[in-house]
Amino acid sequence: MDKFVIHKSALKGSVKISGSKNAALPIMAATLLTDEECVIRNVPELMDIRTMIKILEVLGKEIKFQKNTLIVRTKRKTSLKREGYVAPYKLVRTMRASFCCLGPLLAKRKKAKVAFPGGCVIGVRPVDLHLKGLRELGAQVVVQKGYCVACAKALRGRHIYLGGAFGSSVLATANIVMAAALAQGLTLIEHAACEPEIESLVLFLRKMGAQVKGEGTPLIKVQGVKALGGAEFEIIPDRVEAGTFVAASLATNSPMLIEGVNPLHLTSVIEAARSIGGECDLKDSAIFVNPGGTKRAINLTTLPYPGFPTDLQAQFMVCLCLAKGISLITEKIYPDRFMHVAEINRMGASIRRNGPYVIIEGRDKLYGAEVMASDLRASAALVIAALAAEGKTEVLRVYHIDRGYDKIEEKLEMLGAKIRREKQ
């Protein structure tokens, strides 16, 4: 197990953003819908990607991953095991996106057995919308010994409402769109997620021959087809990684050019950065962030896209710890996603939690300490806090950050960060 040793750093220069993990994983799962070859480019080198590769190999795929390009083929049918529809717990337990195998497996192979997913400890994340959608498409779905077991002789299109207690669900939308692509007739998915990652998945499915319309809106229409073919596709830039570097620029008072991004995917993030006091100069595929002078306290609420992303809540919390005044953050996606609060407080911050809210009283400085990462995005927040803090900080359990950030310490070193990886 590794740790980061970080000293206060002034950052300078440019950073290139990698492909989106949250877009790549459902697209990788979608290759289960075809026996033909798929080529996926701009795939980030991450632990979660490696885990999904192992899952797909268990499910009968042959995969080459080199220079950020995935080539996915189907093994000869004679070599497929009878259990080729089972995604085992030992792999699925490490990340939630692996549950996206359920829909395509069911649609293509008429049966699926997928372990309930794991991932970051950020509160309750039920899969009820996934199961509801598949049942409405005609699948028989039962829960047995920690696995979701589904079967269907044929899936049939339906009008499905996918709204949940906290709004739309990205992964449930992905699962139902993929299952509906091979269903009989028309499926209408109401209250679908509008995230760019869903748009990207739909574009990939369309290249495979699927008939899907309405991506980026709350109503997606899927006209089922009999079969899908192979496709070539390029993964979109990672908007969460880009937003993380925006937060790093603000927290460390370091001007920074963030390249290889789609600014249209970051509207709410840019607005938050400007409200805090930063300046953001937008180009076609880059953002120049000038953190400006004194940071201002703001009220921030996480919401489904195009609202402010829950995956950037922790990183921007660090910025507000150094702002002048009192800020309020409201978490409306995962109300328990505040495991990082105690660790940031160890560094001298003043954060109080009250249910799904945190109240932040800005401080002039943070101070280095030994802190422990609890989840992927909390890890990034602690790294940002360490770069801004006086003295030395040790961030333990950084395997979390390796799940979602491609070579983050190398990118930070190129910006001038004093960061090194050591064995814990």
Nearest CA to 91 out of 76, 101, 77, 105 is that of: 101
Q: Alpha-carbon distance 251 to 8, whole Å?
A: 11
Q: Alpha-carbon distance 306 to 401, whole Å?
A: 24
Of the candidates 38, 101, 120, 280, the residue annotated as catalytic is: 120
Find tokens 């085992």 and name the residue: 88
> Do the strands 299-302 and 326-331 form a parallel or antiparallel pair, or are they unpaired?
parallel
Radius of gyration of the chain (CA): 21
Q: Alpha-carbon distance 338 to 270, whole Å?
A: 23
Report the 10 Å Cβ neighbour count for 234: 15
Q: Alpha-carbon distance 41 to 26, whole Å?
A: 14
Cβ neighbors of 308 (< 8 A, separation 6 or more) are 268, 269, 272, 300, 301, 302, 316
Please name every residue paired with 281 in a beta bridge, in sequence order, or none if there are none: 288
The structure tokens listed for 219 are 């109503």
Q: Alpha-carbon distance 250 to 236, whole Å?
A: 24
Nearest CA to 356 out of 202, 166, 185 is that of: 166
Phi first, then psi, for residue 326 (nearest 5°) are -110, 125
| 120 assigned to active site | yes
Nearest CA to 412 out of 5, 11, 3 is that of: 11
Nearest CA to 220 out of 187, 178, 260 is that of: 187
Nearest CA to 346 out of 412, 396, 310 is that of: 396
The structure tokens listed for 363 are 């401080």
**Residue 330 φ/ψ region, left for φ over 0, alpha for ψ in the -120 to 50 degree band, beta for the rest:** beta
Q: CB–CB of 24/43 below 8 Å? A: yes
| Cα four-point dihedral sign 40, 43, 45, 50 | negative
Q: Alpha-carbon distance 346 to 360, whole Å?
A: 14
Q: CB–CB of 21/44 below 8 Å? A: yes
Residues carrying an active site annotation: 120
